[in-house]
Homo-oligomer: A and B are copies of this chain.
Amino acid sequence: MARVVVDVMLKPEILDPQGQAVQRALPRLGFDGITDVRQGKRFELEVEGPVDGDALARVRELAETFLANTVIEDFTVRVVEADGVERAVSGTQAPTEGATA
């Protein structure tokens, strides 16, 4: 069993009202030094068996067809490594290091 993460964010050119609402509230809450806020979705998928090329290709297809609306959203598929580091392996933006699809 391994965990694969799919992050779905609005494309940079798409207005992000939720992110803007958070950003506008920051000064009132006493938080400065944060120049932009973008809000999106995070999916944590528990994958059976090894996270190999086939499994990542399946997750990528799931992200492309179901989790993200690729007309207005970008997605990134990340593998969660032993030390908790999350490494992008595929997506509409991420460098496709060793990505199979």
A residues whose Cβ falls under 8 Å from a Cβ of B: 1, 7-9, 19, 22, 25-26, 29, 31, 33-49, 55, 58-59, 61-62, 65-67, 78, 84-88, 94-95
**Does A22 lie within 8 Å of B43, measured CB to CB?**
yes
Residues from chain B with Cβ under 8 Å of A34 in the complex: 45-48, 58-59, 62
Kindly report how many copies of this chain are found in the complex they form together: 2
Residues from chain B with Cβ under 8 Å of A31 in the complex: 58, 61-62
**Does B44 lie within 8 Å of A41, measured CB to CB?**
no
Distance of A38 Cα from B45 Cα, bound (Å) = 7
Question: Contact partner of A38 among B19, B44, B59, CB < 8 A?
Answer: B44
- With most chain B CB atoms within 10 A of its CB, the pick from A25, A26, A37, A55 is A37
Nearest Cβ distance between residue A30 and chain B, in whole angstroms?
9
Nearest Cβ distance between residue A38 and chain B, in whole angstroms?
4
Distance of A31 Cα from B60 Cα, bound (Å) = 11
